[in-house]
Structure 1
């Protein structure tokens, strides 16, 4: 890695928490958003990690709730001319890459992702240039510029299968940006994987000893873990997978209690899928002390009702995602490569 850049030492300023709205204000903004969606010929797509009231609104208005790539794919297929992306900035960029003809709006362009921030393009270019013999695979949680540098883009749901495929071809891998997911993939496949040392600030805070103690309190509970979590947490899991895979695991596991180690925003859709099961938050570094995010991304929390209404009403530089056309074309190549590969896998 570039000797002058260490993503693990980077400190990301947390955004202020949105002001709490009264019940009357929530009702007002919900009605306003529904009106603006129709007026703008827009559809709303929301990530599993946004707050429940945002997910509910997306569902009520004919939008979708899913992971980042499925959000973009849904938007590309939907006839609406405008997409309102409730998530973080790279998700809006991915939507624009796949739907250049559409207007992509976000509640705020200040909603970032520590994985994206921790992999700046100049430093990543230098890292790749230092290892020209390696195939570059980047996670979807990256900027359009980093995607354009890559040979492949990948999601957590097919990461193991893709790296297994590349390993079978004798290829050595650069993996970016999440080191935990990279190490998980390397362990599952045995491939030669060189990891960029980024991390998700949410998943990085799950703590092994605290989870072991929690398992002792709930001995009959299954543990569901996103692979962006540290290896020691993954090793305690009964199921490991992407957001959608964890929801499926919740449905398929026989356990009546589930300890879930990912952003607590997922609980809304997961509880819908398993209404009779008890969902428990896995402990973070905040147990009995202080925590930076307490299992909820602070940037995802910026997607409030007022911000969504403002984005739909005003658009413009504060809300519209724009991607340079040459950069978009470059990023589309590894994205399409991944989509073509995913289509070959069993459902």
Structure 2
């Protein structure tokens, strides 16, 4: 009997489909994506790859907003997610009605939203950014004299604000994974591993960011493990990223930054419960049944694409 992986490979060929996976999903899905002509990347490159590939059907191993972004950029393609319930706290924290109300109250501000938002929120924005592009985009807008309304991640927004000194009004959303990292516990861990470089995603609280040797996107943190001279790294982001880090730097030691939240049963519980919903089994099921397809209103799609396209043109 064929393994689940082999069955998925057959189904991908049958449906002219490609598997596109985020760094935070199960390692087996990441391996399978790359083995079948897909990609493992951050959310922007997932969407860009989906737009540029020849496949008719895009299978997104990630969360709902990633599927929506792929559909926005490729409305003519069939886009499926592995689990329709896999969402994101940042997306959930920014409902379109409340967000639109705030935008209407500040018509003088350029609306910049993080990629971790719904298609409706993206459609209300002037710009969509990612963690790897936010600094450069906001600096560009500041240099042009613009004031900014930022949503939804308050920690990433605060980090960008401190780095650029831009005039920014911040929505108060947060990532449930990154917000768990604890600065006091990280300080203790640093004393136990003084040789280690600390890598922090900017969705983390400022007190954690302040302890970092490198602050950056998922791709930037992977590059740091690969290219920096240290042999030990303390990593403050979703632990799904360790698969790719081990792949690019197999001889380096990786330590999870501590979360130790109240009631936690582990020192670090840094893994997104929604990313964990992505499995080989529901990948096969999605391909066979064709469920969990992403549909977006045409007008919303066009408006959201304009905001995303600004970023794509800016980051070429």
Q: TM-score, normalised by structure 2?
A: 0.97
CA contact (8 A) 1:134 1:171 kept: yes
Aligned residue runs from structure 1 range 156-171, under 5 A: 156-171=131-146
Match of 2:103?
128
Give the secondary structure class of the aligned counterpart of 2:12. helix
Match of 1:309?
284
CA contact (8 A) 1:202 1:263 kept: yes
CA RMSD after TM alignment: 1.5
Cα distance, 1:158 vs structure 2:
1.2
Q: 1:250 aligns with which of 225, 230, 235?
A: 225
1:189–1:241 Cα change, 3 Å? same
Match of 1:269?
244
CA distance in 2: counterparts of 1:73 and 1:276, whole angstroms: 31
Aligned residue runs from structure 1 range 226-245, under 5 A: 226-245=201-220
CA distance in 2: counterparts of 1:61 and 1:339, whole angstroms: 26
Give the secondary structure class of the aligned counterpart of 1:95. helix
Q: 1:325 aligns with which of 295, 298, 302?
A: 298
Match of 1:179?
154
Match of 1:42?
17
Match of 1:63?
38
Q: 1:116 aligns with which of 67, 85, 91?
A: 91
How many equivalent pairs are there? 316
1:288–1:114 Cα change, 3 Å? closer
Match of 2:59?
84
Q: 1:197 aligns with which of 168, 172, 180?
A: 172
CA contact (8 A) 2:58 2:77 kept: yes
Question: Can you give the 5+ residue segments of structure 2 that lack an aligned partner in the other structure?
Answer: none
What CA deviation, in whole Å up to 9, does each residue of 1:27-68 have, x standing for no partner?
732121111101101000000000111101111111100011
Aligned residue runs from structure 1 range 263-302, under 5 A: 263-286=238-261, 289-290=264-265, 294-302=269-277
CA distance in 1: counterparts of 2:87 and 2:278, whole angstroms: 11
What CA deviation, in whole Å up to 9, does each residue of 1:239-271 have, x standing for no partner?
010000111111221111000000000001111
Give the secondary structure class of the aligned counterpart of 1:279. strand
CA contact (8 A) 1:205 1:284 kept: yes
Match of 2:123?
148
* Counterpart check, 1:213 vs 2:188: yes
CA contact (8 A) 2:256 2:268 kept: no
CA contact (8 A) 2:259 2:267 kept: no
Cα distance, 1:299 vs structure 2:
0.3
Cα distance, 1:291 vs structure 2:
6.9
CA distance in 2: counterparts of 1:335 and 1:198, whole angstroms: 20
Question: Can you give the 5+ residue segments of structure 1 that lack an aligned partner in the other structure?
Answer: 1-23
Give the secondary structure class of the aligned counterpart of 1:223. strand
CA distance in 2: counterparts of 1:335 and 1:77, whole angstroms: 15
* Counterpart check, 1:97 vs 2:75: no
CA distance in 2: counterparts of 1:39 and 1:229, whole angstroms: 42
Match of 2:309?
336
What CA deviation, in whole Å up to 9, does each residue of 1:183-222 have, x standing for no partner?
0000000001110000000000000111000001101000
Cα distance, 1:150 vs structure 2:
0.2
